[in-house]
Amino acid sequence: MTTGVVGLKILEFTRTPGPRKKNEGHGSGEEFLEAYLLPRFLEAQRSGSTLHVDLNGAAGFPTSFLEEAFGGLAREFGSNVVETVLTVTCEDEPYVEDEVRRYVQEAAKPR
């Protein structure tokens, strides 16, 4: 049972999400995971809150970015835990919400 909401907007990080790893270029999924997603997730977990990630405002999401960030989170904490804490919205591109959900569910599978 969650009691509150911790928010995270993609625009805090970048308007142009980029590649998978930091060494591949600017705005990587790895950097987003380490600098933003993971700390907020821990904050939400500690306070028994939901982590709500708002993906609106960015100019598209490469698969590598989404998988590294959200799949990486699920690899760290497990798909079930992440699904309990995380909610994602993206009215700019509705199918992205499905993609994130699937990357979280499939994170345990070897790539």
Q: How far is residue 49's CA from residue 52's CA, in Å, rounded to a whole number?
A: 9
Q: How far is residue 101's CA from residue 12's CA, in Å, rounded to a whole number?
A: 21
Grouping H, G, I as helix, E, B as strand and the rest as coil, residue 32 is: helix
Asked if 67 is part of the footprint of other proteins (rule: CB under 8 A), the reply reads yes
**24 or 43: CB nearest other proteins:** 24
Total interface residues for other proteins by CB under 8 A: 22
Question: Shortest CA distance to 95 belongs to which of 64, 69, 75, 66?
Answer: 66
Asked if 72 is part of the footprint of other proteins (rule: CB under 8 A), the reply reads no
Grouping H, G, I as helix, E, B as strand and the rest as coil, residue 87 is: strand
The 10 Å Cβ neighbour count of residue 4 is: 9
Cβ of residue 3: shortest distance to other proteins, in angstroms? Answer: 33
State the binding string over 6-45 for other proteins (x if CB under 8 A, else -): ----------xxxxx---xxx-------------------
> Which listed range, 5-13, 41-49, 71-79, 86-94, lies at the site for other proteins (CB under 8 A)?
86-94
* Chain residues that interact with other proteins, rule: CB under 8 A: 16-20, 24-26, 59-65, 67, 92-96, 99
